[in-house]
Amino acid sequence: MRHSLPTIPQFYVTAPQPCPYLAGRMERKLFTALQGDQAEAMNDTLSRQGFRRSQNVLYRPSCAECCACLSARIRVADFKPSRSQRRILKRNAHLRRHVTSAWATEDQFDLFRRYLDSRHADGGMADMDVFEFAAMIEETPVRTRILEYSDGTGRSKGALWSVCLTDVLEDGLSLVYSFFDPEFAQNSLGSYMILDQVELARRVGLPYVYLGYWVPGSPKMDYKARFSALEIYHGERWQPLEAPERYSGTTHPLSVKPIAEQVASLAMPDTLSAPVAPGRMTRGL
C-alpha cells in the first residue's frame, strides 16, 4: 500500500541584486516552490498574503532595508472607471478578447519580442528566447489562462495587439504578466487589459483583480494608483489606498522583520502543516 505524506513548504531567500524599480537599492525575495496536489491552495493562500507567482515559484519581496513594494488588488464591486479610463475603454472597443489555456504560440512570442525590444531592452527579460518564453507561459501548476486581444474591426483586423497571462484564484484574477504591440502604445493597452479583466471578474463573480506590486516612487508603477477601489497589502493586512502620497518607500534598518519571523507568521492552507524556517541563501529566482 502506498502512502503519501503532506508536503511541508520550504522557504528560501534570494541573494541581493539591484532593484529594477528604485535606483540605488538592492532587492531580495522570499520564495517557495509551487508544486504537488496543494499547488492551487498554496497559490490562493499566499496570494492573499502579498505573494506572486512566476512559473512554479511563489515569491514576495523581502528586502533587507526597504519595504517599498506593496501588493495591490482592485475591489471589483467598488471599482468605478475614471473619465480617462472610460476613454481607454472606448478607444479599444474594437478589440476582441480570446481566452485560451496556457499555451505559447509564435504570434505571442513575436509580439513579446517587439514589446521587450521597444520598452525593456535593458531589462532582465531582454535575452529571453522562444523556449524560455514558452516556459514562462506553460510551466504552471495552477489554473492559468492566456487572454489574447485582437483587432476585431479595424485596419489591422485579426492582428494580435496584446496578451495577458492570468491566474484564476479562489477570490479573483491575478495578472501574472502582460505585453502589447508598441505600435499601439497610445491606446494604453496595459490599462485596458486591467479594465477588461475587472469587468470579466465582475461577470464571473470574483471579488478581486490582483495587479502585482505597486512601488511608490517608481514611474513604472504610477499607473496602478490611478485605479479606484485599490487595496494594498501593508502591515500584514489589506487596506484601502486612500492617499498614495503617504507612501514614500523610504528605507531604514528596521523596515523589515527578520526572515524567520516573516515565515513563522505566514498562514498556510488547512491541509498543510505550518511552514518551516527559511533555508539557506540562493543565487536568485
Whether 4 has a pLDDT exceeding 60, the answer reads: no
Closest C-alpha to 265, from 60, 65, 7, 72: 60
All 3 cell numbers of residue 86?
A: 472610460
Position 3 scores a pLDDT of 43
Q: Which domains, from first to last, does the chain contain?
A: 11-68+249-282 (no CATH), 73-218 (3.40.630.30)
pLDDT at 281 over 60: no
Grid coordinates given for 199? 469587468
- Residue 282 or 52, more confident: 52
Over residues 134-159, the mean pLDDT reads: 91
User: What confidence category does residue 121 fall into, taking pLDDT thresholds of 50, 70 and 90?
Assistant: low
Q: What is the per-residue pLDDT across 36-88, written as a single tens digit (0 to 9) for each?
A: 889 999 999 999 999 999 999 999 998 888 888 999 999 999 999 999 999 99
What confidence category does residue 181 fall into, taking pLDDT thresholds of 50, 70 and 90? very high
For residue 158, CA distances in Å to 2, 107, 108, 142, 180 come to 52, 12, 13, 30, 15
Q: pTM for the whole thing?
A: 0.89
User: For position 250, what pLDDT does the model report?
Assistant: 60
CB atoms within 10 A of CB 119: 13
Distance, CA of 275 to CA of 264 (rounded, Å): 7
Q: Which residues contact 141 (CB under 8 A, 6 or more apart)?
A: 34, 35, 36, 39, 40, 56
Nearest Cα to Cα of residue 29 among 45, 44, 46: 46
Which of these, 70, 47, 73, 21, lies nearest to 234 by C-alpha position? 70
